[in-house]
Amino acid sequence: MQSHSEGNALLESGWWCLDFNITSDHCRWPGITCNQLGAVVEISPPLYCTDKSSIRNLNFSYFPNLIRLVLDGNGVTRSIPHEIGNLSPLVLLNLSYNHLLDQIPSALGLLTNLTHLDLTHNSIFGPIPSTIGLLANLKKFSLADNPTYGYIPPEIGNLKNLHYLDTSRNQLIGEIPSFLSNLIQLESLRLHENQINGSIPNKIGNSRSLSFLSISRNQLMGPLPSSLDNLTKFGEIPSTIGNLRQLNIMDLSYNNLSGQIPDSVACLPSRPLIIVNDNSLLAKIHQCSSSSPDQLSGNDNSTCHGECFRPHKANVVLHYMEICIPVGMFLVFSILGFLFLSRKASFLQHEDKALKNGDVFSMWNYDGKIAFENIIEATQDFDFRYCIGTGGYGSVYRAQLPGGKVVALKKLHGLEAEEPTFDKCFKNEVKMLTGIRHKNIVKLHGFCLHKRSMLLVYEYVERGSLFCMLRNDDEAVELDWAKRISILRVIANALSYIHEYSLPIVHRDISSNIILLNSEMEGFLSGF
């Protein structure tokens, strides 16, 4: 009886096309998963049947065993009903990239088993309900791209298992709450493009797991934390950020921050990419073994390999001595070294060092830095056997890294890499791509700037391009019309995302060659 009721409730939702071959057994419908007892545990309707359907069309009371509700990109409308709180076993709720309206219902706090909550890219407004803090098992919470306003509720500090928090591109106000430091497992914090003011809290250094911090395009300024009583500059970056040993990217751009980037950030072993556009920050990077000028992006005040400071009057002579004596000794020994070492030997030594270590190499999300020589080994010096595609700007290689991860390497053509302006263009492209976060856009894992090569390291998508799939008669059979329409919808959604991005992107090369398919025939946009 329950099985029959579930089937009727699914039909009444309007999420399955009437012309689709609907059998009497709803457990065999596309997007439906049932347990061994025949009860529905997952609902993920086909994308091509749900355009502009209301989420309220689904009677939640008929699905007491539902664990996953996935409606991303389905075009569902209206507000999230309070009845959704009856789905107590729910673990994953994905309502992203739809047309949902109204506020987040407080009833979501009843879903205490929830680990993933994604409300990205809707029209949800109003404050974030405090009941979100009741979701003790929550690992991922994304509310990006909504007109939500108000403060970040302090109850979010109760989410001890949270790994990912994204409230970017909203209308949130107030300061960055210090209670975020309670989230000891937090790996990614994205608060950019809000109306957040004040200073960066001192306690943010307690979030030792943090590897991605983005707070750009806010109104941050304010004083230094009181714990840094030996510094008095208004609005500097707290030195305790240097405690974030796993930090890979820190985006502080488009605020009103001033003062000095602390030594502790410059000398981090992870060599983070620091984006500081449109601030008045003074960068001070010592000759740390792992630091590089390429760590800094978009700041005209940055200086490298030395100290920058403003001495107090009482210590002027001492500071000049501290500068002049080491600099003088350095110049003397440099001249002597130049006279005794042959130019050829110096050149060969520099070449060997460059080939071994690379100029800049950064990988995000799993292995930190990976030496250039590992890339050479994985592709046998970019042997043609590993080449899986060639385009106007470069060739793409399949490479299995030492940890077993398979990636796609986009190696730019040599003539392009030798252009004087290409280095800057390359860095600008990397900076742009790091901000793209869409499930159907091929993910950028990292990059490499090397004397021999310029590389972009992308997510590897197993089945290759849609073009090759359609050219092969045997493989093309797998792409029935339902799958083809589904691919078109997700690619259109991805294009809409980059067109509406904070810095809109025009792809200019859309074809079946740059649409990639994974093992489940899901489409991914590539070719950036």
Catalytic residue numbers? 509
Distance CA 186, CA 207 (A): 7
| Extended strands (E) in 13-98 | 32-34, 40-43, 68-70, 77-79, 92-94
Contacts of residue 65, Cβ cutoff 8 Å, sequence gap at least 6 = 35, 39, 40, 41, 89
Is 53 in contact with 78 (CB distance < 8 Å)?
no
In angstroms, what is the C-alpha Rg of the chain? 27
Is 180 in contact with 167 (CB distance < 8 Å)?
no
How far apart are the two ends of the chain, measured CA to CA in Å?
Answer: 52
Contacts of residue 445, Cβ cutoff 8 Å, sequence gap at least 6 = 363, 364, 365, 366, 407, 457, 458, 459
Backbone angles phi, psi at 375, to 5 degrees: -65, -45
Backbone angles phi, psi at 227, to 5 degrees: -70, -20
Residue count of the chain, please give it: 528
| Extended strands (E) in 240-331 | 249-251, 258-261, 273-275, 280-285, 296-297, 302-304
HSE-CB for 135 with a 13 A CA cutoff = 27
Is 149 in contact with 127 (CB distance < 8 Å)?
yes
- Per the DSSP assignment, residues forming a β-bridge with 409 are 397, 457
Measure Cα distances from 479 to 21, 141, 469, 475 in Å: 17, 34, 8, 7
Contacts of residue 404, Cβ cutoff 8 Å, sequence gap at least 6 = none
Distance CA 94, CA 519 (A): 21
In the sheet where 360-363 sits, what is the strand order?
Answer: 360-363, 444-449, 454-459, 406-412, 394-400, 387-390
Q: Is 410 annotated as a binding residue?
A: yes
- Per the DSSP assignment, residues forming a β-bridge with 214 are 190, 251
DSSP state of 26: G
Detail the residues annotated as belonging to a binding site for ATP: 410
Detail the residues annotated as belonging to a binding site: 410
